[in-house]
A and B are shown apart, each in its own frame.
Chain A
Amino acid sequence: MKLPKLPAPPWKRAAAPAPDTLLLAEYAGPDGLLAAADRVRRAGWADWDAHSPFPVHGMERAMGLAPSRVPWYVLVLGLGGAAGGMLLQWWVSAEAYPLVVSGKPYFSWPAFVPIMFECGVLGGALGAVAGFLAESRLPRHHHPLFDSARFERASDDRFFLSLGAAGREEGDRALRLLEETGPARIERLGPDGVAEVPAGTAGRRPPAARETDEPPARRDVPPEDAP
């Protein structure tokens, strides 16, 4: 079996050029967001994310997300915890304080397996939390998206797609792309603050503002589509 390639650690991954503008498109329902994510992925955009109040089925595929790297943290810390637990008991029972317990050898490994197991579970659980925090770049005090008052509804009843762009030309392309996805509303978050972008700013036919959950005619997401 071919093992998946070990991912580069977060601190070695090349940082994308810092975006100076964030565009925030808002959708009324999960289907609109799903179709928009599919579109943005097909456009090959690099710096973007989707935000929804609940996990949307099919979003991983629509966004073309690579498999999560968290399992590797869990594996390494889980095995490390198990090995550490066994090592600790070996050192205590056979090296530092050798005592005969019920006539058994100093290093009685079967008796140490439960604690080794628990240490492995503990390591794995801590690995899952640490991996999740590291991969999500958490904790952090602030994110530019929090400047938008409407973004609070991402944890309530609205669906957002945020897209970062560097420079004016890329910003225009990003805006055109987002307008094609038919959002209910677009906001521009820049150094000058938060402003709603009126429909049709990018010089395209303005799409009807959508307050309903009707997605634009979308192609079905093919299964297991690579980005």
Chain B
Amino acid sequence: MSHAPARSLTASEVTLPERHPLRKGGLVAAAVGALALVAVLALAAGDPRQALGSYLVAFLYWLSIALGGLFFTLAMLASRAGWCVVVRRLAEHLAGTLWVYALLFVPLAVGAAHLWPWWGGADPAEDPILAGKAGWLDPGFFWVRAAVYLAAWALLGWWFRRRSLAQDASADPGVTRRLQSLAAPAILVYAVTQTFAAFDWIMSLDPHWYSTIFGVYFFAGQAVAIFSVLALLAMALERGAKVEGERRPGPLAGVVTVEHYHDLGKLLFAFVVFWAYIAFSQFMLIWYGNIPEETVWYAHRLEHGWEGATWALAIGHFVLPFFFLLPRGVKRNRATLAAAAVWMLVVHYLDLYWLAMPAIHPEGFRPHVLDLVAWVGVGGLALGALAFALARPALVPVGDPRLPESLSFENM
């Protein structure tokens, strides 16, 4: 309301209370994750290719959520958005966990020879295409590039979170100005690194094939994932919890409102459409051009036992959520928005699985128990790191000059 008194928050109002179940939950998740990763390692000896493939999909899945957090933080700062301030800290916390993925990449770096078929090099007489790419697809260069991507993400996530946390105490609007002006070049770094990471880690599983839009496709999945996760995370932190026998409202109750969920829902809907737009753009150009070295990737996914997964993806990742998220009421209702968010996080896994796994299982769609164990393993550590990140500091940037605007935000 235009003349309502400006409301603000103190850090203690929006900090996770002592003995909140999420604190213990983070430890449990990290322990379960570590156990699951040990199980993956134990089972890897029998079928290293399956184990590494499952691990790659799990790694990409959780990485895409944390990278989405970085994207959200940077995009909202660069666009000087006011509505999102109450949920931006959650994205900053997610981006702040990106350092974990530098450690989690180690198994992939070590086992790369089992996973990426170009690893051993190619004979120019037998495979001139692959031999022509030898300069880029070179193990040493691959490791250096991966180190650059992971270091850049960890650094950006750490720095933007740290500066924002420092603003909680100082309430210095200069911090916001500085973060806003640095967000634009940071977006450039993010865009380039995530594009080449998608080329290196996913596209090069089929090293003959190439698609220049592939990085954008990977980004679209991250955007879908982050809006789903932010909505679910805010709802989880809104919920009251029993602390020392008495029921207390969640730290974000009354802070994140239906108006913010409405906007997160609109963005989720928009990026569901964006994902479909990019996916279809990639498909149609390759289908229309009809060049065998390009069509092989889709031909493989539309036949050979993968056609079911392809259609499930097209319908589950676009048609169903498009019509479900279309009405206004669905985005303004926590239960329906949460259902959509959970569904999108499930089909987001299918999306990454569908990108990577046909290279591991050319014979068809073959789910394996290691897929689940690896997902639990990486996810447990990812959630543990997230719980660690948001355990102490305020869950809302209380020093941000746009916080009152965000608190009283209304769509109409």
Contacts and interface: CB of A to CB of B under 8 A. Distances in A.
Query: Which of B280, B328, B330, B412 is most buried by chain A, counting CB atoms within 10 A of its CB?
Result: B412
A10 B204 CA distance: 58
Contacts of B1: 31, 34, 57-58
A37 B327 CA distance: 27
A110 B412 contact: no
A30 interface: yes
A30 B2 contact: yes
A114 B1 CA distance: 42
Nearest to A58: B1
Given A29-B3, A56-B2, A60-B412, A110 B287 contact: yes
B327 A71 contact: yes
Contacts of B329: 4, 67
B299 to A, nearest CB: 14
Contacts of B336: 1
A34 B283 CA distance: 52
Contacts of A75: 326
Taking residues whose C-beta sits less than 8 angstroms from the other chain, chain A's interface range is 20 to 34
Contacts of B327: 4, 71
A113 B318 CA distance: 14
A146 to B, nearest CB: 26
Interface string B277-301: 0001001100110100000000000
B123 interface: no
Contacts of A58: 1, 410
Contacts of B412: 55, 57, 59-60
Interface in A42-80: 55-60, 67, 71, 75
A67 B280 CA distance: 34
B315 to A, nearest CB: 15
Contacts of A55: 412
A102 interface: yes
A111 interface: yes
Contacts of B288: 102, 110-111
Contacts of B290: 102-103
B2 A113 contact: no
Contacts of A110: 283-284, 287-288
A114 B283 CA distance: 12
14 contacts: A1-B324, A1-B330, A4-B329, A30-B2, A30-B3, A57-B412, A58-B410, A67-B329, A71-B328, A110-B283, A110-B287, A111-B288, A113-B280, A113-B284
**Which 8 A-B pairs rank lowest in CB-CB distance, beginning with the nearest?**
A57-B410, A57-B1, A31-B3, A110-B284, A110-B287, A58-B1, A30-B2, A60-B412
